[in-house]
Chains A and B, each alone.
Chain A
Amino acid sequence: MTRVIDAINRGARRVPTWVVYILYMLPVPYLLYLAQTGGLGREPIKALEHELGEIALQLLIIGLCVTPLRRFTGLNLLKFRRALGLLAFIYVVLHLTVWVVLDMSLLWGQMWADIWKRPYITVGMAGFLVLLPLAVTSNNASVRRLGAAGWRQLHKLTYLAVVLGGIHYLWLAKGFQLEPILYMAVILALLALRVVPKRR
């Protein structure tokens, strides 16, 4: 097992991070193509919005896996964590853009009212705002400026952002639906792993 992990770690060291960016941006043109050709169903706007939001949430969750994977299995994917976080932010921005432009047709009054009045939209918007300082400081210069400890402290906001994302999904579902519940369970489990006491 350790030999497999070592092999993966050696391989991962050779993969440049831009590969992750390229691979994870491929769904964007693909989804746009599907939306235009009927692949997202008869009403592509909601479907596109949903797909982008779900990818964002998945990326945040994958980002949350990096630390426990290293701690419990020795698998080291730390070098990809910034890419995963920034990609998550990019997908959140795309999700938000589809909502503003395609879904809400720039009806600013209705959107503004919804952000304050509708809990799931309030929570989603809060999640976006929490991610904003994290995206802005996801560069080496910011790490230097904030100091490693301060930067780490700030980036613990990821935990808040992913929980807000999970609640956002849970809250928009009609009736008792399985998928958002599973996402939330995974998020809570990954957060719980962080309070497992360290072995001596």
Chain B
Amino acid sequence: GLGLASIAGEARAQEALEPNSYEDITQYNNYYEFGTGKGDPARNAHTLTTEPWTVKIDGMVDRPGAYGFDDIMKAMTVEERLYRFRCVEAWSMVIPWNGFELADLLDMAGVQSSAKYVAFETALRPDEMPGVRFPVLDWPYVEGLRLDEAVHPLTIMATGIYGKDIPNQNGAPLRLVVPWKYGFKSIKSVVRITLTDKEPPTSWNKANAREYGFYSNVNPEVDHPRWSQATERPVGGGLFAGRIPTLMFNGYEEDVAELYAGMDLTANF
């Protein structure tokens, strides 16, 4: 039962992470702007134009403006981060991202002391995104983090996978990665970052507030109303992959639990 599961979970947290294949990572995606099927993004996302690309950084910053992707890359230090990735649908992968810390990008724009939250927005290109013809969500896709979550050293903007430029279906040319939260928080193809003092709206929360909270931290003890979050299936293991226990904060409890000290994680899900 539960005892055994938690022991197995701890054992897994200790062992070295084995990354998924490049094919797993780039052919099994949720990117609803390109269709709701898992294979749709890999099939359809080639139409997305990623050059040139600018990220508008505005709101409570000292240097608001449109930052060109190449200029950002010149200023940032890209490193590899091998992270667990846990989807809210209860599947998971291990992904070798290349990227830089979001904190460094925010420093570039100069965050003002009044800022408390960071809002993100995905590109909305009806001509390039066949999925946005149907109102699966209220487009454009938006996400948000509390400022302390955003500047946490684990939070990165990913620009590559396995040392290659990040493919369109994974959120080219740059996407957020917050490894202790459900995957949908890690917004793709970011075109705008806004510093604000109010909790920003987020797409899945707008679609169904009962099921998707602002925090959406991976938590095996707080179930999605329609399915359990206690276990997950690693993608790439074929028909008999089985399930493994889901770890608190997706295995990053030691690094991030203090961000939520004193908070009721059942209410702030």
Instruction: Give chain A's interface residues, CB within 8 Å of chain B.
Output: 35-36, 41-48, 102-105, 107, 109-110, 113-114, 117-120, 171-172, 174-178
- B174 CB to closest chain A CB (Å) equals 24
Contact B236 A43 (CB under 8 A): yes
Query: Given A107-B231, A110-B231, A175 and B36 touching (CB < 8 A)?
Result: yes
Name the residue of chain B whose CB is nearest to the CB of A32: B239
8 Å CB contact of A45 from B1, B231, B233: B233
Q: Which of B137, B235, B239 contacts A175 (CB 8 A)?
A: B137
> Sorted from nearest, which 8 A-B pairs have the closest CB atoms?
A42-B28, A175-B136, A105-B242, A43-B235, A105-B243, A42-B24, A118-B226, A41-B39
Chain B residues within 8 Å of A175, by CB: 32, 36, 136-137, 207
B128 within 8 A of A: no
Q: Is the CB of A42 within 8 A of B235?
A: yes
| Selected contact of A41 from candidates B27, B207, B239, B243, CB within 8 Å | B27
> Which residues does B use to contact A, with CB under 8 Å?
1, 23-24, 27-28, 32, 36, 38-39, 89, 91, 134-137, 207, 223, 225-228, 230-231, 233, 235-236, 238-243
Structural contact, A36 and B238, CB atoms closer than 8 A:
yes
Residues of chain A within 8 A of B134, CB atoms compared: 176, 178
* Given A118-B226, A175-B207, A176-B135, CB of A43 within 8 Å of CB of B38: yes
Choice from B223, B227, B233 contacting A43 with Cβ under 8 Å: B233
Is B136 a contact partner of A176 (Cβ separation < 8 A)?
Answer: yes
Cross-chain contact B28 with A102 (CB below 8 angstroms):
no
Q: Are A114 and B227 in contact (CB under 8 A)?
A: yes
Closest residue of chain B to A36, judged by CB?
A: B239
Query: Which residue of the partner chain B has the closest CB to A114?
Result: B228
Give how many A-B residue pairs fall within 8 Å (CB-CB).
69
Bound-complex Cα distance A117 to B224 (A): 11
* A124 CB to nearest B CB, Å: 12
Chain B residues with Cβ below 8 Å from A105 are 242-243
Q: What distance in Å separates the Cβ of B159 from its nearest Cβ neighbour in chain A?
A: 23
Q: Is the CB of B27 within 8 A of A42?
A: yes
Q: Return A97 CB to nearest CB of chain B, in Å.
A: 12
CA gap between A117 and B238 in the complex, in Å: 28
Is the CB–CB distance between A172 and B226 below 8 Å? yes
Most buried by B among A45, A46, A119: A45
Q: Which residues of A contact B136 (CB under 8 A)?
A: 175-177
Distance A119 CA – B27 CA, assembled complex (angstroms): 30
Q: List 20 A-B contacts (CB under 8 A).
A: A41-B38, A42-B24, A42-B27, A43-B38, A43-B233, A43-B236, A44-B238, A46-B91, A102-B239, A103-B233, A107-B231, A117-B223, A119-B226, A120-B226, A175-B32, A175-B36, A175-B137, A176-B135, A177-B136, A178-B134
Considering only CB atoms, which chain A residue lies closest to B91 in the complex?
A43
Our pick among B32, B38, B89, B228 for the contact of A110 (Cβ within 8 Å) is B228
Inter-chain CA distance A135–B209, complex, in Å, is 40
A101 CB to closest chain B CB, in angstroms? 9
Q: Which residue of A lies closest to B5 (CB)?
A: A107
The residues of A that contact B32 with a CB separation of less than 8 Å are 175
The residue on B at minimum CB distance from A178 is B134
Q: For residue B241, which residues in chain A have a CB less than 8 angstroms away from its CB?
A: 43, 45
| CB proximity of A193 to chain B, nearest CB, Å | 28
Are the CB atoms of B1 and A41 closer together than 8 Å? no
Roughly how many angstroms separate A46 CA and B231 CA in the complex, as a whole number? 15
A119 to chain B: closest residue by CB: B226
**Inter-subunit contact A177/B36 (CB<8 Å):** yes
Cβ contacts under 8 Å, A103 to chain B: 233
Q: How far is the CA of A42 from the CA of B235 in the complex (A)?
A: 7
Complex CA gap A176/B91 in Å reads: 21
The minimal Cβ–Cβ distance linking B111 to chain A, given in whole angstroms, is: 32
